[in-house]
Structure 1
Amino acid sequence: MRPNFTLFTLLLLHCWHIDRIHGQKSEGALTVVEKSKGEGADEEEATVGDEDEGDLEVVQPTELWQTLKPGQAVPAGSHVRLNLQTGEREVRLGEEQLKYWRQEHREEEETLSSFSPEELKRAMKKIKEDSNAAHNQASVESRFRPLEELKEDMAQLHLLVETDFQIMKRLLEQLNSSNTTTEQRVSVLQELEYLVHQVDNAQTLCSMGGLQLILGGLNSSDFRVQENSAFVLGSALSSNPVVQVKAVEDGALQTLLTALATAQPLHVRKKVLFAMASLLRHFPFAQHHFLSRGGLQVLSELFREDGGGIVRTRIVTMLYDMISEKELISQKGLEAFMDSAHEERVRQYSKVSLQGALLDEGWCLLVPQLLDSTEHDYREKALRALLAMAPVCLQEYRSHSSLLGSLLSLQDQYQDLIQSEMILGEENSYFLEIVELIEALHVKMK
């Protein structure tokens, strides 16, 4: 009897509790739809009532379950469950919400995956280059001041930027002044030599009357002034036909021959020879007058006096260049390419009887003396000149008692050098070229 009473009492209390729940309004205003999912949890689909939405903290669900704190509301369509293990409510996106959420993420992934790895690399590289360019531009701008600002500062300091014309004018005024010391003259000439390497500056020097001042320096009693004057003249004449013509008109040829015939130190003679070679190169008119005024006699005296070989080598090189120029300009088969200027050059070269003069002045026997040098370069220059002079000097070569022996000795020497280099695994075509020159001259002498 007592157990039945107890059971009746429990049922009564349970019904009273249910009635109380239905009679009260939930604080969250949740409409619950029960579903059976998962293990150890009750899942619900919940909506938030419009009347209380403004007073509640609404949680933004995701695809994962997250704990729902007391007093928090969830959007309509969300899934809410009671975790029976922890006793806490949890919420995530509902089925419809998950479907749209997954669709949006899929579209984003497809958009990202539409770019190939190469395109992404190029895009990243472009971003980096643009960033570096902007940084470099800012760095350059920070290091340099605007031109207008610099001009203003220079004007305030009374500074003047000189042109080459103004510099040469100032230098020539110093060179022409009687108050200029020898040291200052040397310094002025060195500055002028640097400037006249430019073709326009060299021609400007002539138009300003500077060529006469330079030629006057060759007659100076100071060897340093002579040397630097010859250096300026040679640099101005190099590959500059306008200056070459002006120099001949101003008497440069006779001045240079006089300087070569005068006893001078080696360093002065080298610079004067440089100026002479620059004046005669590709200028048949000057070459003709050089021969008619005894130029070869002056050079032969220098050749005999030189014991070291450097002056001899420069003289032989100058003669070889003059012979080669005439042969090149007079080659047959060029008639189709000849214009009036070329015809005039051929006519002028025809008046230069250089090889006949070389034979008359004894150069056929002078040049072989350079073969006695121990310098490979000197020997090479001598061999090339001997081959160029062979058309008029061949008989002299054959009558030269020691020339053939010297050639055979040199051939053996250079063959040994080539063999030694081959053993060491080295290749030097320079020695092979010398052997070929010796063999070519030997063949002509047979």
Structure 2
Amino acid sequence: MRLISCSATGASLSSLTLAFLLLLPCHHVASILGQKSDSALTVVEDAEGGEGAGADEEEEVMVDLKVVKPTAQWQTLKPEEAVPAGSHVRLNLQTGQREVRLGEEQLKYWTQEHREREATQPTFSPDELKQAMKKIKEDLNPDSVASKYRPLEELKRDMAQLDLLIETDVQIMRRLLDQFNSSNSTTEQRLNILHELEYLVHQVDNAQTLCSMGGLQLILGGLNSSDVRLQESSAFVLGSALSSNPEVQVKAVESGALQMLLTALVTAQPLQVKKKVLFAVASLLRHFPYAQRNFLSHGGLQVLSELFRADGGGVLRTRVVTMLYDMISEKELISQTGLDPVLDASHEERVRQYSKVSLEGGLLENGWCSLVPQLLESTEHDYREKALRALLAMAPTCLNQYRSDSALLGSLLSLRDQYQEMVQSEMILGEENSYFAEIVDLIDALQVKMK
């Protein structure tokens, strides 16, 4: 290779030089340009190809080409002068001269402290530059790159020797069901199997496949187990399989899952079991009017009301009230006008199915108009919010009872004052659209309906 001079009007650095300069620390390059010489260097390949006779001999030629050192002030640039990259160059329309000064980044970089530090940095000799260029050339050699990696065929042979057993989700579920049904499986092993199944059935296809394998009956059988841990885990798997999965919901109703879940709620069960059973019931009823109608016909609202009265901690109360709110909101939403029947051909059929879900009579009959306000007595903000949303949803049915309930009227006034103070405190701190402001809006909306 040989070094030639770079004219001020346009010779550009070759790609190889750019790669080399990028490998060098910025302060070393600055040292070469700014201290060692005021010359600009360009590295180009030999015209003959570089690998013929004499290719190993490289000639170095230093040609003086003054490189201007810009300052913070504009200075005139002569035709034979070059400028460092990043400098600002302009044409003075009054004098017709080109002028140059430091760019914004250079102004930050070329401080007096930096210049003093650069003066102490070591410089590179021509021999060192020559060796560095040879190293770059060797690194770019395809043979040297390929030698660092193993051939693909060799990797395939090694993988084949490992004899890996890769199971699909279907094969895994089949194996788990066989192990669960085995008489040699212990309770701990069955609990681990249910844990793995719960993870798998979150995928819609896996849940449907599990049902076709007979897994649904296995899970329902776990609800009748004498071990409360198996009951809890079985209800959890069932709820996960039912979530947003209409095909599994239909099979569960046909298999009698609803009756089994309601039975589990009315019998004496630990709190953790009832929480998972409620989760399964909510998953079964969500967006499934046929299941909701069966739920009402089997006394579901009465079962939930008894559960609400018996719960003193509020955990089950909140889940029950949320379930009621979801059922009411679904029916109200599907009944609203404005949906385009052309874009949603099944809308009319869904309206027909939800019209058969008679919630209003069950809410009045089982005393829900007076039960839900009791949740406002909780100290948890989340519980109060869910109660307020449910009260608003139930207002068309329970409005007369709301107006005659002095305890409810007093609770709303007290809660509004409490949350309004919280909102004002947050506004002082610069917070807007807070969670407490939403609760105030819910209280205001309910008070408007009750007037």
TM-score, normalized by the shorter chain, greater than 0.5: yes
- One-letter code of the match for 1:420? S
Q: Structure 1 residues 170 and 387 mapped into 2: Cα distance closer, same or farther (>3 Å)?
A: same
Question: Is 1:308 the equivalent of 2:205?
Answer: no
Question: Is 1:380 the equivalent of 2:368?
Answer: no
Alpha-carbon distance between aligned partners in 2 of 1:364 and 1:161, rounded to the nearest angstrom: 56
Alpha-carbon distance between aligned partners in 1 of 2:371 and 2:190, rounded to the nearest angstrom: 39
> Which runs of no fewer than 5 residues in structure 1 stay unpaired?
1-103
Give the one of 147, 154, 175 matched to 2:162. Answer: 154
Alpha-carbon distance between aligned partners in 1 of 2:310 and 2:199, rounded to the nearest angstrom: 32
Percent sequence identity over matched residues?
71
Question: Is 1:114 the equivalent of 2:11?
Answer: yes
The DSSP-based 3-state class of the residue aligned with 2:202 is coil
Give the one of 409, 434, 447 matched to 1:429. Answer: 434
Alpha-carbon distance between aligned partners in 1 of 2:216 and 2:169, rounded to the nearest angstrom: 16
Give the one of 177, 187, 192 matched to 1:172. Answer: 177
Structure whose residues are more often helix by fraction: 1
Using the size of structure 1 for normalisation, the TM-score is 0.69
Partner of 2:251: 246
The DSSP-based 3-state class of the residue aligned with 1:113 is coil
Alpha-carbon distance between aligned partners in 1 of 2:9 and 2:158, rounded to the nearest angstrom: 52
Which structure 2 residues correspond to residues 334-345 of structure 1 after superposition, within 5 A? 334-337=339-342, 339-345=344-350
Partner of 1:284: 289
Which structure 2 residues correspond to residues 5-404 of structure 1 after superposition, within 5 A? 108-110=5-7, 113-115=10-12, 141=149, 148-155=156-163, 159-337=164-342, 339-404=344-409
User: Could you say what the CA RMSD is over the residues aligned between the two structures, in angstroms?
Assistant: 3.1
> Which runs of no fewer than 5 residues in structure 2 stay unpaired?
24-132
Out of 204-213 and 426-435, give the one that drifted further: 426-435
Q: Confirm or deny: 8 A CA contact 2:341 2:348 kept in the other structure.
A: no
The DSSP-based 3-state class of the residue aligned with 2:226 is coil
Q: Structure 1 residues 138 and 308 mapped into 2: Cα distance closer, same or farther (>3 Å)?
A: farther
Q: Structure 1 residues 226 and 112 mapped into 2: Cα distance closer, same or farther (>3 Å)?
A: farther
- One-letter code of the match for 2:333? L
Out of 386-395 and 425-434, give the one that drifted further: 425-434
Superposition deviation, residue 361 in structure 1: 1.3
- One-letter code of the match for 2:253? V
Alpha-carbon distance between aligned partners in 2 of 1:146 and 1:218, rounded to the nearest angstrom: 53
- Length, aligned pairs only: 335
Superposition deviation, residue 125 in structure 1: 6.5
The DSSP-based 3-state class of the residue aligned with 1:402 is helix
Superposition deviation, residue 178 in structure 1: 2.4
The DSSP-based 3-state class of the residue aligned with 2:406 is coil
> Residue deviations 1:271-320, cap 9 Å, x none?
00000000000000000000000000000010001111110000111110
Q: Confirm or deny: 8 A CA contact 1:226 1:268 kept in the other structure.
A: yes
The DSSP-based 3-state class of the residue aligned with 1:267 is helix
- One-letter code of the match for 1:342? H
Alpha-carbon distance between aligned partners in 1 of 2:238 and 2:13, rounded to the nearest angstrom: 68
Alpha-carbon distance between aligned partners in 2 of 1:445 and 1:201, rounded to the nearest angstrom: 48
Alpha-carbon distance between aligned partners in 2 of 1:161 and 1:429, rounded to the nearest angstrom: 50
Q: Confirm or deny: 8 A CA contact 1:154 1:160 kept in the other structure.
A: no
The DSSP-based 3-state class of the residue aligned with 2:6 is helix
Greater relative contact order structure (CA < 8 Å, 6+ sep) = 2
Q: Structure 1 residues 122 and 421 mapped into 2: Cα distance closer, same or farther (>3 Å)?
A: farther
Superposition deviation, residue 141 in structure 1: 4.9
- One-letter code of the match for 1:153? Q
- One-letter code of the match for 1:154? L
Alpha-carbon distance between aligned partners in 2 of 1:397 and 1:142, rounded to the nearest angstrom: 78
Q: Structure 1 residues 265 and 120 mapped into 2: Cα distance closer, same or farther (>3 Å)?
A: same
Alpha-carbon distance between aligned partners in 2 of 1:140 and 1:189, rounded to the nearest angstrom: 47
Q: Confirm or deny: 8 A CA contact 1:171 1:188 kept in the other structure.
A: yes
- One-letter code of the match for 2:290? F
- One-letter code of the match for 2:387? A
The DSSP-based 3-state class of the residue aligned with 2:183 is coil
